[in-house]
């Protein structure tokens, strides 16, 4: 069920401010690009906003006052011309006989939804009851609308969630017609969700897929996504005499050209950022490299440093500099400023030559080779390790492998939004079943890797009302350029994944949960995560749709050593990338131990602000000894190049 449009890389759950609000850069994520208000940054304010038309009801004198009919006619003609260019940009890369990637996805979606339809159509009485329920909702909306048009004040039949940014424009409430359109849409969306929820006898995975698909269709057909059914867009079009539509069509053409015929929706102004210039600027050197990774050591910023160094294992699905954005948001810089000797793996952006590289290769040539080099550079046999997302999953399997082979070089482990048990892995599981995996593996076999945009799209579909449709409206209907936002630049900087590695990950984590069950093997060794006994700090984030907090909690409870489980506010990126100086969000800790996440949360202590200070206190207690600041490479390894290195700059 690969998504139909090319979107920026996963993770990625920040939720930035809606584009129409002209977001200003702030810490959040890919998802951060996540959880609309919870994950993203705040709106910038009038200085960064494009002038907006008067807030007159759509179709009224205020809407007409700025319209020049002749200019509108010319703009509509120009829009049609630009539309031809967009169509050419879509068709040019295609050739006869080429199979569209969407064909299998559409077939799978229709097959899934048909199972729900069969349930309701199998019993005529159920069919009538379902239709009657929908019609009753429409009649209630119609009756209320007639009363409003007659001057009565009536309570709405239904209303959107207070956090739903799609209907925040006052025109949706002021106009009885647009209010009726909004309510009819909400009635339909709720009815469709109920049809799936109440369908009995469906396979749980099939039902989960159907719920996800219905939600995606509902999000796509929202009246807020179309010019003629959105009062704000009508005002915009009238006040600019259609110039917004011309600009929007140009943006559409540009995005189709950029995506080589696939719609690559821009979420930010990518020209505003450059890795190594205003992102990933913490001073350091690449001290080692092989075909899978570069190892970066960062310059000490304090006179003394922690004796035991820290190795960070980022996800290979994204690039490591999510932890080293601007200086104000950089977790890596903050660590260095706290006196931590920091080493970071920067994974290669692989191509077909690395198709056979598997999970065990990433363990041996990634983490274990990096540990060898850290020991050479520092003279310390042991190191602490930190893994983020799938980097944490790899770290957990490596720790289990090391426990089985008697390797104790990792002194403690920190897991950031890391799943070890995938029983409750959330909506990403809708993309993983045997049929879909077989399709993915066929495509990877042909190319040798999975395009980063494919998995990126899946992550963005988890929050399509935050990460897709607001940008469709902003870019193509309002005709505005996306606002510069560093997290979204990173989110769009996707990476490829080697076929063997990605297949192992999907099958042993999402499909079979073999890692948690002790049935997976790495390097010929059966992996048993219960044997992990080192001290662990496990961080989850409350609104994470990629690594749900309950899933992270269950995985942490599989480990045998002492575990400090902490829950941060916000989502997968915003909750992690949360510098203390910003004073945002909160975290929970010290809940009662046991198998129940809900009981843990009920008894946990809430603290305001970032989790970073809590982590440094825990980390410093593990091995408190300090030594004089170390030179990069320790006079044993010759630096290859300045951080952030070549690997992270390679674009997909």
DSSP per position, 561-619? S-EEEEEESS-TTTTTS--GGG---EEEE-PPPSS-HHHHHHHPEEEES-SHHHHHHHH
DSSP per position, 81-148? HHHHHHHHHHHTT--TTPPPTHHHHHHHHHHHHHHHHHHHHTSHHHHHHHHHHHHHHHHHHHHHHHHH
d(CA 193, CA 454): 26
d(CA 544, CA 14): 9
Which of these, 12, 34, 164, 19, lies nearest to 570 by C-alpha position?
Answer: 34
| 210 and 202 Cβ atoms separated by less than 8 Å | yes
Task: For residue 166, count CB atoms less than 10 angstroms from its CB and return exposed for 0-12, middle for 13-18, buried for 19 or more.
Answer: buried
| 309 and 607 Cβ atoms separated by less than 8 Å | no
Reading phi first (left if > 0) and then psi (alpha if -120 to 50, else beta), residue 431 is in alpha
CA distances from 134 to 138, 139, 191, 193, 215 (A): 6, 9, 6, 12, 17
Q: What are the residues whose beta carbons fall under 8 Å from the beta carbon of 103, sequence distance 6 or more?
A: none
d(CA 375, CA 385): 13
Structure tokens at 293: 């990774």
- Candidates 389, 444, 450, 520; catalytic one: 389
33 DSSP assignment: E
Place of tokens 């066929």: 442
| 648 and 332 Cβ atoms separated by less than 8 Å | no
Reading phi first (left if > 0) and then psi (alpha if -120 to 50, else beta), residue 499 is in alpha
b (16+ CB within 10 A) / e for 499-511: bbbbbbbbbbbbb
d(CA 631, CA 205): 53
Place of tokens 């006994």: 533
| 467 and 488 Cβ atoms separated by less than 8 Å | no
b (16+ CB within 10 A) / e for 232-270: bbbbbbbbbbbbbbbbbbbbbbbbbbebeebbbbbbbeb
Q: What number of other Cβ atoms are within 10 A of residue 633's Cβ?
A: 18
Place of tokens 């092989």: 290
Phi, psi angle pair for 405, to nearest 5°? -105, 5
Strand ranges, E, within 482-548: 497-498, 521-522, 525-526, 536-541
Task: For residue 509, indicate whether it is catalytic.
Answer: no
Residues serving a catalytic function are 389
């Amino acid at each position: 069920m690969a998504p139909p449009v090319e979107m920026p890389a996963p993770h990625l759950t920040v939720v930035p401010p809606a584009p129409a609000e002209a977001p200003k850069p702030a810490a959040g994520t890919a998802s951060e690009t996540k959880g609309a208000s919870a994950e993203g940054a705040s709106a910038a304010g009038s200085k960064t906003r494009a002038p907006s038309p008067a807030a007159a009801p759509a179709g009224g004198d205020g809407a007409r006052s700025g319209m020049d009919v002749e200019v509108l006619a010319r703009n509509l003609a120009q829009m049609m011309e630009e539309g031809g260019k967009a169509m050419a940009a879509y068709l040019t890369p295609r050739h006869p006989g080429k199979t569209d990637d969407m064909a299998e996805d559409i077939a799978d979606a229709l097959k899934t939804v048909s199972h729900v339809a069969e349930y309701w159509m199998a019993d005529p009485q159920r069919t009538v009851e379902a239709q009657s329920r929908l019609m009753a909702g429409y009649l209630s909306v119609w009756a209320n609308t007639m009363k409003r048009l007659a001057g009565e004040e009536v309570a709405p039949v239904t209303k959107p969630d207070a956090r739903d940014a799609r209907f925040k424009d006052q025109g949706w409430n002021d106009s009885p017609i647009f209010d009726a359109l909004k309510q009819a849409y909400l009635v339909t969306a709720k009815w469709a969700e109920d049809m799936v929820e109440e369908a009995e006898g469906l396979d749980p995975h099939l039902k989960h897929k159907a719920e996800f698909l219905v939600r995606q269709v509902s999000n796509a057909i929202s009246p807020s996504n179309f010019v003629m059914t959105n009062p704000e867009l009508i005002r915009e079009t009238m006040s600019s005499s259609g110039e917004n539509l011309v600009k929007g069509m140009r943006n559409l053409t540009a995005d189709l050209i950029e995506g080589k015929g696939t719609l690559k929706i821009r979420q930010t102004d990518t020209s505003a950022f450059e890795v190594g210039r205003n992102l990933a600027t913490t001073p350091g050197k690449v001290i080692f490299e092989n075909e899978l990774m570069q190892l970066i050591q960062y310059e000490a910023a304090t006179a003394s440093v922690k004796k035991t160094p820290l190795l960070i294992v980022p996800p290979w699905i994204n690039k490591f500099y999510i932890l080293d954005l601007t200086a104000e948001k950089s977790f890596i810089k903050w660590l260095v400023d706290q006196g931590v000797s920091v080493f970071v793996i920067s994974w290669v952006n692989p191509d077909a030559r690395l198709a056979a590289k598997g999970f065990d290769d990433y363990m041996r040539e990634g983490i274990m080779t990096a540990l060898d080099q850290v020991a050479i550079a520092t003279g310390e046999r042991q190191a602490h390790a930190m893994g983020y997302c799938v980097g944490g999953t790899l770290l957990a399997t490596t720790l289990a492998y090391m426990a089985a082979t008697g390797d104790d070089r990792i002194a403690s482990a920190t897991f950031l939004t890391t799943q070890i048990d995938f029983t409750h892995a959330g909506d990403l599981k809708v993309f993983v079943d045997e049929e879909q995996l077989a399709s993915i593996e066929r495509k990877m076999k042909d190319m040798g890797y999975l395009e980063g945009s494919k998995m990126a799209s899946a992550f963005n579909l988890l929050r399509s009302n935050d990460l897709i449709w607001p940008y469709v409206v902003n870019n193509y209907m309002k005709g505005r350029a996306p606002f510069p936002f560093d997290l979204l630049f990173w989110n769009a900087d996707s990476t490829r994944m080697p076929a063997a590695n990605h297949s192992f990950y999907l099958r042993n984590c999402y499909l079979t949960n073999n890692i948690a069950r002790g049935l997976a093997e790495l390097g010929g060794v059966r992996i048993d995560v219960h044997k992990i006994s080192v001290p662990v700090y496990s961080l989850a984030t409350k609104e994470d749709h990629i690594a749900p907090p309950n899933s992270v909690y269950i995985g942490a409870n599989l480990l045998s050593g002492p575990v400090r489980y902490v829950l941060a506010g916000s989502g997968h990126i915003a909750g992690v990338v949360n510098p203390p100086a910003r004073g945002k969000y909160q975290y929970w800790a010290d809940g009662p131990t046991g198998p129940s996440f809900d009981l843990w949360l009920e008894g946990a202590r809430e603290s305001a602000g970032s989790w970073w200070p809590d982590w440094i206190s825990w980390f410093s207690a593990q091995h408190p000894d300090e030594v004089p600041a170390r030179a990069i490479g320790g006079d044993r390894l010759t630096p290859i190049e300045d951080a952030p290195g070549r690997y992270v700059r390679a674009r997909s």
